[in-house]
Structure 1
Amino acid sequence: MFYKYKCGNEIIRVFVWNDDFHNEVSVEDTKTQKSYDRTIREDENGKFFTWNRNTIYLNDWIKISMKELKEKIENGERITSDDLCQAIMTDGVENVRFIAPLNIRCGFGFFLNGNEFKDTLCKVEERWNREIKQNYKIVLIPVESDDSVANSADYYTEDFVSLIKCGNIKIAETQKLIHQEQSNEDYFEGVNDYFDGTMGV
């Protein structure tokens, strides 16, 4: 997957393999329009490579949140599957939520009606060969058990981006953001109670 890193006063685009077998990254040089391999090394701070005399740690890629990703899409900015996967990784796979149309079950619940769908709040489930860092496929499962719909759906990441852009799949608030907003509400309620003189009454 391609990641963006801050290198001195510029932003560089780097291809990083998602396995432990490769010991190099490929850096795109915008001046020469070529890619150059750089060896991955490791010290007490983690794995890194060097570019133009700068030491760049693999985990220091430029982060984008799901909220920022949603804003970019709403503003008509170009979004790639790399952006999607990295936003999910930034917020945490376990925290991200989508509203997606899942196939409705028919008959005795063993078959799916390919023509009928139900918008369902879903979360991402990583499986073998379906990890977000692979930028290959995304598996969605209902947040709450629902026997009326399919128990999962998987999408190629490029298709997933297109479905978000056209509105078929919607980005819901992440659990992390919800918890943060609830904490803020509790804090301000406590402050208001204090100044109202109701604290401890």
Structure 2
Amino acid sequence: MAKQDDYARYTIRIPKDVYSALEEAASAANRSVNAEIVERLSYAVEHPRSHYELLLAKLHSLASQSEDDERTLEDAQRRIDAMAKAGEKLSFVAEQGFDFQRKLMYHVLNYVDEIPAELAIWAYDVISAVERTAVLNAMLANPDLNEQEARKVIKERRDAYRREALAFLKQHLADLAEDEATENASRDQDG
């Protein structure tokens, strides 16, 4: 136990509301008001104000970093939303069978002996990019597909699109022929 000589006596005046708060804190901590005051003064001496200022600076830094992180997350969310919209547009193009870029580039390559080398290289690059986009879209639509399976799905879709386009073209030509026959028959009756 501490001796009387280990302590210095000092009398202070404390406002009543502060003393009441110290009494409540001392009671909650199961110690005397004097022990509560000594504990608080000891803590204040061990942790000078500069320590608090350092903690406050760290808190401000964390708050600032948090705000920066929030802005970064908002920017990332905007970019993700834009990519999702672009993905929807690409998906729409792929679903509709709009394969015109690839077909156009293959057509350009039919004249590979007659076109500049740069144009041929560009056409190959476009074909590769279109093919890669189609594979990625197929893999996005069905995450269980690997690249080879995605290529198979794309080929099946293209073949189905070609069959539908060919059937439509045949029907259109048949309708034209029928219309022409009807028109010729009508002319023959009138003539």
What is the TM-score with the length of structure 2 in the denominator? 0.25
Q: Considering fraction of residues, name the structure with more strand.
A: 1
The structure showing larger relative contact order (alpha-carbon pairs under 8 Å, at least 6 residues apart) is 1
Higher Cα Rg, which structure: 2
Q: Considering fraction of residues, name the structure with more helix.
A: 2
